[in-house]
């Protein structure tokens, strides 16, 4: 199963006087193929939740399974897109996408067609041999989405992916992400400050309250899709 099961998962950073509860125990299930948006004010624990799911940061308590396995180390089958894409400036765009493959010790030749297909899907086919500094903010984020998907993870996690973009670019990115999702039907967890974006993109919107860690699904939106 490519789903996520979260049971009483919590996170405290630091110890003693310096301890910060970033996430009080929460429960949440994400079904395979679901596009879930997580919204909530800054500091409510959205990024922490994403880091716990990916195994980048260890949880303090609770049961967390991804693809049916308890998370105890970084989960390699996840694509991650952050707000500020870190691209390697000395590698061209295609090489940046393939970095994901190199890092995992996978066979480049096998993933090259996939990399090109994804660059096309995000509108960067003509920029494969350009360096990141030649790209606009939106294009950099497109490259990072292609990079996040190239190893064909069943799950894509996005943390404020369009947060640093201007409104017009953001709108276009939303439309493109929706099209990409329709083509791939990956499980997507999408963190955003924008309730509009959440409602327009997601099958389900999870709202995290300002009280640390109190999470409630306040609405389930069924969007008719072809
Ligand atoms: P956002 O609201 O956009 O998620 P934040 O300002 O909460 O961003 O956090 C930005 C980065 O700073 C995160 O990577 C987070 O781990 C780190 N960070 C936030 N608060 C603290 C803190 N109190 N101590 C150490 N690092 C922190
Ligand atoms: P959000 O993504 O919703 O803005 P975060 O998960 O970044 O929230 O942060 C939740 C809380 O945990 C905040 O109070 C933040 O300051 C704190 N925090 C985040 N990262 C760290 C960290 N590395 N060390 C200490 N506190 C942190």
Mean predicted confidence (pLDDT) in 39-68: 94
Per-residue model confidence (pLDDT) at position 127: 98
User: Is residue 8 in contact with ligand 1, taking CB distance under 6 Å?
Assistant: no
Report the 10 Å Cβ neighbour count for 76. Answer: 11
Judged by its nearest atom, the ligand closest to the C-alpha of residue 10 is 2
Q: Where are the alpha helices (DSSP H) in the chain?
A: 46-54, 93-103, 108-121, 137-149, 167-184, 195-201
CA of 195 to the centre of ligand 1 (A): 21
pLDDT at residue 216 is higher than 80: no
Closest C-alpha to ligand 1, atom 10: 47
- Give the ligand 1 atom nearest the CA of 163: 3
Band of the pLDDT at 65, cuts 50, 70, 90? very high
């Amino acid at each position: 199963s490519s789903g996520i099961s979260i049971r009483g998962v919590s996170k405290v950073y630091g110890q003693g006087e310096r301890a910060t509860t970033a996430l009080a125990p929460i429960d949440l299930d994400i079904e395979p193929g679901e596009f879930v948006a997580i919204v909530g004010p800054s500091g409510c624990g959205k990024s922490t939740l994403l880091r716990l799911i990916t195994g980048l940061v260890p949880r303090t308590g609770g049961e967390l399974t991804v693809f049916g396995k308890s998370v105890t180390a970084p989960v390699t089958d996840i694509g991650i897109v952050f707000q500020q894409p870190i691209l390697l400036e000395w590698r061209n765009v295609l090489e940046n996408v393939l970095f994901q493959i190199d890092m995992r010790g996978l066979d480049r030749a096998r993933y090259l067609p996939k990399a090109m297909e994804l660059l096309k899907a995000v509108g960067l086919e003509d920029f494969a041999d350009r360096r990141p500094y030649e790209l606009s903010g939106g294009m950099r984020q497109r490259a990072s989405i292609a990079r996040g998907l190239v190893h064909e993870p069943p799950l894509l996690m996005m943390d404020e992916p369009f947060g640093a973009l201007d409104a017009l670019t953001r709108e276009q990115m939303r439309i493109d992400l929706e099209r990409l999702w329709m083509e791939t039907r990956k499980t997507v967890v999408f963190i955003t400050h924008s309730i509009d974006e959440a409602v327009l993109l997601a099958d389900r919107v999870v709202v995290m309250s300002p009280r640390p860690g109190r999470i409630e699904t306040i609405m389930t939106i069924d969007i008719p899709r072809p």
